[in-house]
Amino acid sequence: MLRYTLITGASSGIGLALAEAFAARGDALLLVARRADALARVAEDLQRRYDAVVELRACDLADAAQLDAFCEEIAGGAYEIGTLVNNAGFATSGAFVDNEWDDEREMIRVNITALAQLCHVVGRRMAAAGHGQILNVSSISGMMPGPWMANYAAAKAYVLSLSEGLREELAPRGVKVSVLCPGTTRSPFFERAGIDLAKLEKEALVMTPEAVARITVGALERDVAIIVPRWYNKLLAISPRLGPRWLLRKVVGSLYKGVARPAAH
């Protein structure tokens, strides 16, 4: 049976670049996102350029019924998964209480619930087989409080903590777990979050998804626990340890407030 690399959120940005990097390595891919047409274009391109085996699964990970159905297929052995990449995610920005609860809840469902459920179902099968690798995508934002992106930063802190916990639990059972914490990366992410990337670019160094993917695949081969691409993001990652917490909240808050979606009312 073919062993797949399952990548969620493979229709654009970092997930798409990771799909290409894994295809270049010769992996068979199982790509997941909501937009079937975008996934089909990705598959066609990877088949043509890398002769890759690509399976597609259109699934809204925020929809509990669709997520459950997909997880049941995996639990039933429909696919053997050698590598799981939990990349799908999006951000809400602006003041939490002014945003619509439906949007904040959808963010929790995609960034937390779906990621945890896939770690559970796939991780259990990997542990039974005695091998496998899981990569969860967090963010530099998950390493610090994030006023004006409070729920997103909290969700990414969850991803970081879950991944580190699972790494220790699953290592003796032959399963490697890593977490990717990218800094600002050029992708459609910012448009969906209502963030003006042009403003952020003045203040931060921006990576391409392809550079993030290249560094990540290399780091996975070395089983790096927490992958932070590029030195300037590594500096940001240690910044919470350099000063008092109140100062960190003020600095991050003023950065995010300047770029976040303005309040609707």
Ligand X SMILES: NC(=O)c1ccc[n+]([C@@H]2O[C@H](COP(=O)([O-])OP(=O)(O)OC[C@H]3O[C@@H](n4cnc5c(N)ncnc54)[C@H](OP(=O)(O)O)[C@@H]3O)[C@@H](O)[C@H]2O)c1
Is residue 158 flagged as an active site residue? Answer: no
Among 13, 82, 94, 229, binds ligand X (CB under 6 A): 13
Residue 27 interacts with ligand X (CB under 6 A): yes or no: no
Residue 61 interacts with ligand X (CB under 6 A): yes or no: yes
Residue 185 interacts with ligand X (CB under 6 A): yes or no: yes
List residues bridging with 134 in a β-sheet. Answer: 84, 177
* Catalytic hit among 152, 158, 232, 256: 152
Among 5, 87, 92, 178, binds ligand X (CB under 6 A): 87
Among 3, 24, 28, 38, binds ligand X (CB under 6 A): 38
Are the C-beta atoms of 118 and 8 separated by less than 8 Å?
yes
Find the length of the chain: 265
Number of neighbouring beta carbons within 10 Å of residue 126: 25
SS3 call for 178 = strand
The DSSP result for 25-82, as a single string, is: HT-EEEEEES-HHHHHHHHHHHHHHH---EEEEE--TT-HHHHHHHHHHHHTTSSEEE
Residue 85 interacts with ligand X (CB under 6 A): yes or no: no
Closest separation between CB of residue 67 and ligand X, Å? 8
Among 4, 5, 6, 14, binds ligand X (CB under 6 A): 14
List residues bridging with 257 in a β-sheet. Answer: none
Residue 146 interacts with ligand X (CB under 6 A): yes or no: no
Residue 35 interacts with ligand X (CB under 6 A): yes or no: yes
Residue nearest to ligand X (CB): 13
Would strands 28-33 and 54-58 be described as parallel, antiparallel, or unpaired? Answer: parallel
Q: How far is CA 126 from the centre of its chain?
A: 20
Residue 132 interacts with ligand X (CB under 6 A): yes or no: no
Residue 89 interacts with ligand X (CB under 6 A): yes or no: yes
Residue 133 interacts with ligand X (CB under 6 A): yes or no: no
Sheet (strand 132-137) strand order: 54-58, 28-33, 3-8, 80-86, 132-137, 175-180, 226-227
Binding region for ligand X (CB under 6 A): 8-15, 33-35, 38, 60-62, 87-91, 110, 137, 139, 182, 184-185, 187-189, 192, 209
| Catalytic residue annotation | 152
